[in-house]
Structure 1
Amino acid sequence: MNVKKTFVALAAAAVTTFAASASAETLTVAATPVPHAEILEHIKPKLAEEGVDLNIKVFTDYVQPNIQVDQKQMDANYFQHQPYLDEFNKGRGTNLVAVTGVHVEPFGAYSSKIDSLDELKDGAVVAIPNDPTNGGRALLLLQKAGLITLKDDATITATPRDIAKNPKNLDFKELEAATLPRILNQVDLALINTNYALEAGLNPTKDALVIEGADSPYVNILVARPDNKDSDAMQKLAKALHSDDVKQFILEKYKGAVVPAF
């Protein structure tokens, strides 16, 4: 064994490794835990091979990820759909932009007290998200299920004030989306975003009493700023999120609770 040659080879390898890591570009992305952070963790090794060090920061709310990207504390985020982003930009005066769409999380209604929507009693308490787009999305789903009728001009920004007919006199409670799984046993029905449902151990395809179809228009998107959306690292991330590998990962891990949008 030639010790000198072995030492030289190891030293060269170490220099190469150091050079690769030194030249890697760090991309810090805010994400909610499930499925967004899980999907990002899945592609992290692949991106590292392409010179992108993916730094994933987990958040459990829908506000801070956008604020921190806008303030350049984060490079991007991955947790929301376009209607929510549009309302956020409008309400906060931000100018965040979508880089690419990745997946759909069919929105569902859950209960720990009943097994069918037909069992909802007069005056039942129904909890919905209190943010403009997800609250409206919940009401639109309840309208599709025949429980309420909204005013003709009601959109995704609808609130309980836009309900035209409420034959069961449902009592609507508007609460922060992240808290809904925790208060499920305190209400008769809760409309829960799939990321929070999965995080709470609910199976949307089995536990939801009514759920959006896979044709839901609310595609979850990778979001950045106008100044960095076209950067080389961001485009590598977008490409990785659209890979066949990610599609298979989503299909196998979430079994219909999360659906690829590409």
Structure 2
Amino acid sequence: MIKLIKYELLRKQNNIFISLIILAFLELGILFGIYKGGEWILLSMVFIFTMIAGGILMVFIDTIRSYSFDLNQKQGYSLFLTPTSGYKIIGSKGLVSLIELLFVVIVVFGLMFLNFQFTKTLYYDQINQVSGEIFHVIKQSNVLPSLGQFFLFVTASTFEWFTVIMIAILAITLRKTILSDSKIGWIISLVFFIAIYSLMEIINATALASFGFIGDMNEMVQLSSTTPDPSVITEYIYKYLRIACALFPIYIGVLFYFSGKLLNKRVDL
């Protein structure tokens, strides 16, 4: 699998270079908006949203495009002609997408830190006053997450994102198995994706219900209107983040199993 991962990363060199250029352009726009101030701050906000949402979406699209290309094009499909396991192929695709996501998160986080420092330098007095008031309110409300809670949120979010990736991979593999010669393969894959995603949502809702989700949500709504302390509500949130960290790896494992099993059939090689 190590060789497959290296192969995938080498193929993505041009995409990474283009992505860095786009990120640099967005970052210059953000810094320009901060420097100009006033209504130009809106430009910075738009570019920040584009950078974060676009980065995550880019990783998803790139993973699906790469996998679909390998299944449908003979030059890309040469990877599948090697005597290797379908599970290794699926695993390498998934791990590379995770590496891409971590790369995007680290770069974007670094740029956001740079933006904050730049803003703090330009508007030192205003930033100190506003940030001081914000942190005071957060500290008084007892909702500032601990390092463990922050890690819990990041882990649950990563597992959820990875589950969506595996659903898309299974949808594409399933389409290749059933209707390999269809000229509207992407539409069929999309239908399979929606169907599998909907099924997973039903399964997930059923699993959460077994942990008392409905009762907890009703109680949380009541508490939000009667209890001024938001930390009581955040306890429910962290409870289900912990449950998500337990459930999503199971979903990923099931999706991985069926995707690898279908790919092992060497459909239309």
Normalising TM by the smaller chain, what interval?
under 0.3
Q: Which has the higher strand share?
A: 1
Q: Which has the higher helix share?
A: 2
TM-score when normalising by structure 1:
0.21
